[in-house]
Amino acid sequence: MTARMGTARLGPAERFDALSRLGSQEFDVVVVGGGVVGAGVALDAATRGLSVGLVEARDFASGTSSRSSKLIHGGLRYLEQLNFDLVREALQERSLLLQRIAPHLVRPVPFLFPLTHVGWERPYVGAGLVLYDTLGFSLGFTRGVPGHRHLSRKRALRLAPALKRAAFTGAVQYWDAQVDDARYVMTLLRTAATYGAQVASRAQVVGFLREGERVTGVRVCDLETGVELDVRARQVVNATGVWTDDIQDLVGGRGQINVKASKGIHLLVPRDRIHSVTGIILRTEKSVLFVIPWGRHWIIGTTDTAWTLDKAHPAASRTDIDYVLDHVNAVLSVPLTRDDVEGVYAGLRPLLKGESEQTSKLSREHVVTHPVPGLVMVAGGKFTTYRKMAADAVNAVAHGLDLRVPPSCTDRIPLAGAEGYQALWNSRYRLAESSGLHVARIEHLLQRYGSMIDEVLVLIEGDPTLAHPLAGADDYLRAEIVYAATHEGARHLNDVLTRRTHISIETFHRGLAVAEEVAELLAPPLGWDGEQVKREIEYYTKRVEAERASQEQDTDQEADAIQMGAPEIVPVATPDPT
């Protein structure tokens, strides 16, 4: 078998080369921020023929973009707010992602909406879902998911026997889509790199380059070496989400965007704790609560509370966890307890500040501004609409360039791994036979890598021991760990256990039982010696211990103080406001 050609790798050598190029040439646009919006901007700009650089202070997708509900959806609750344009836009994007852009990463998922009132609620919810389904038709595409259907309580209980019979009167089932958010961002970045973008993680912007009023680039610190470099650019795009205000301060505080962070937490429990073949959505006093199927697990969330503390590691408190458990237990015949919780993660939504003090009422729409010459700011929005945000940001870049820039074409650009995915899926039994792997393993790999699966299989051909599952996290093969370092930009143990895989939240041991095996697998491609292996394990262990301890605290302040006590494997540089 030969490796698939044409898709960029993001290994150590490629990072070194990217940093060399970033420090030695002028780019049309440099993007600050390696979350879904920044990655989307890089791909949009690169596919319009612009030269592109992207830098991220931590790991790719290490902020909001790996801590979402992992849904691609229109947002049913925005219909109640009469925000039809936002819902329509999001559902158009859902269709594109499912059917053209990333069919290997985005897939349909059903949800059951239990009804609790007799009479008015069924026609009210039904009318909303008719509109939701109708808005899903766009651009000549079908919705990509089945339409909704009404169910009696008896039929609903056949789908979800875990529901408490007395807790509802009937139900409506509808469909949305889900995604591995961190993997999606990594695939976006690899696609952008394939079209020429130079991308580097652990590269923090510590200042702006200026010529008078104009921003002409950024000063970047390579956090792995401490070396600083000047990256020159005709336009800079700030796509840093909840860090938007911090970057505005670096440029002199003249920004026109104000972002307020809202914390949302999610719990993971084993699949057998909730007997259901469908996801569930529940209305709460503030928003909605999802019970989302996720492999051998359920993801349950989310909350919506203001957050003003550490942005890098938002903490989930005991109060947050109890809130989620209390609300889901209200409809379950067998309640969940803290002992059922395998993993917990907390993320921050970058909401645009408005008149409301309640984060649940702040805007999920996005804004793009050009506050000073040479600088574009983009913020707000949601994961589902990242592509539209990116196109709007690059439109603003085009306005600032003395070039004729073609319009966005990312609605027609499949992500890496999408081309040929369906044919390989149809051939999965043949792939299993030729590779020696069980067909279930091939399906797992196809749904993570798509047509890039052959790159993983080549690693196994070279070292058959990589075909073995990890001891203590057997959903993942050893080859996937090596591939994360050689192809996917992973630099540290935490990158792999938290984002390239989700072992940190999918196991009761939170990844500690496999930390040594994973670190040993990462050592050769990343050039670690024995001391670095020990250091990686030590830092990861301290991070897990801090997270566990924070989740026993009653308040955000107490939980945050404990999280802040865990050191970073790569210290983040202190920005120089001058």
Full DSSP string of 41-65: HHHHHHTTT--EEEE-SSSTT-SGG
pLDDT at 542: 96
Q: Find the distance separating the first CA and the last CA of the chain, reported in whole Å.
A: 54
State the Cα–Cα distance between residues 441 and 510, nearest whole angstrom: 22
Question: Which range among 138-142, 183-187, 506-510 shows the weakest confidence by mean pLDDT?
Answer: 138-142
> Any idea what the Cα angle at residue 221 is, between residues 216 and 223, rounded to 5°?
155
Residue keyed to tokens 């085009």 = 398
State the Cα–Cα distance between residues 77 and 80, nearest whole angstrom: 5
pTM over the 0.85 mark: yes
Phi, then psi, of 441 in degrees rounded to 5: -70, -40
pLDDT tens figures, 46-60: 999 999 999 999 999
pLDDT tens figures, 162-204: 999 999 999 999 999 999 999 999 999 999 999 999 999 999 9
Q: Which amino acid is at 197?
A: A
Residues in CB range of 211: below 8 A, 6 or more apart: none
pLDDT at 356: 40
Please say whether the beta carbons of 22 and 392 come within 8 A: no
pLDDT tens figures, 438-496: 999 999 999 999 999 999 999 999 999 999 999 999 999 999 999 999 999 999 999 99
Full DSSP string of 212-241: TTEEEEEEEEETTT--EEEEEEEEEEE--G
